[in-house]
Amino acid sequence: MAILSGALTVRRFRVLGDVPDGFRDSYRDRLNEYGFKEPAVETGKEATEGWCQTQSLLDVEFDDFDRWLHMPYATFALRVDKKTLPAKLLTATVKKKCEAWCAERGVERCPASVKSEIKDALEAEWLKRTLPRVAVTECVWSIQDEYLLLHSLSEGTTERFRKRFFQTFGLKLIPWSPLDWTDGAVADRLVSSAPSAVQEAE
């Protein structure tokens, strides 16, 4: 719940698109539909993502408006779970198993197909015993004023959030340019003097 409790470093976005009539119920249903869900089966190295409450990453239901909708603001978070394996240890273990396979058969080299099978089997075994790394990215969305504050400066996290946000609400998040805070004359001068920088900022 850090985004509601103190000073933060955030990115600001304009929210482009039409907010429908009766958006409270519509957005509740969309958040529930795209909320975080534990995978039905053991996952591999692919990420699992979905919305959760800012109060707890285990709270993934949005039926109680008082927990996330404080007009004109909505607060929620994107949870991403991803399993990772220690690369160096995995490589060394695969090498050791390949050496044992060669010694057992009295050959010098382990075929690529066998090495791949050994690696795949080892990854599957380790992933079953590995807990995911969990990342939670909070946001505050001013529905009335059409902007959103995202508690992250990571480009990868930002892009993942923007895609999930559009998938959920059908609304685009556009990075807020410093030029949005200037008057038209100042903005025109900046655009003419540094067009490439302005385009990148937008």
- State the average pLDDT for the chain: 87
Does one domain contain both 107 and 197? no
pLDDT one-digit tens code per residue, 128-183: 888 899 999 999 999 999 999 999 999 999 999 999 999 999 999 999 876 565 55
In this prediction, residues 182-199 reach a mean pLDDT of 48
pLDDT of res. 180 = 60
Percent of the chain with pLDDT over 90: 72
Does one domain contain both 139 and 115? no
In angstroms, the CA 177 to CA 167 distance is 23
Radius of gyration of the chain (CA): 24
Total domain count for the chain? 2
Cβ atoms of residues 79 and 36 within 8 Å: yes
Domain range for 64: 2-82+132-201
Does one domain contain both 102 and 191? no
> Omega before 72 cis (within 30°)?
yes
Does one domain contain both 123 and 194? no
In this prediction, residues 102-124 reach a mean pLDDT of 93
Does one domain contain both 73 and 162? yes
Residue whose C-alpha is closest to residue 124's, from 39, 43, 41, 40: 43
Give residue 195's pLDDT band: very low, low, confident or very high (50, 70, 90): very low
Does one domain contain both 76 and 122? no
CA triplet 87, 96, 124: central angle to 5 degrees? 50
Q: Look at the pTM and tell me if it is higher than 0.85.
A: no
In this prediction, residues 122-132 reach a mean pLDDT of 90
Q: Give the pair of three-digit tokens for residue 93.
A: 């273990």
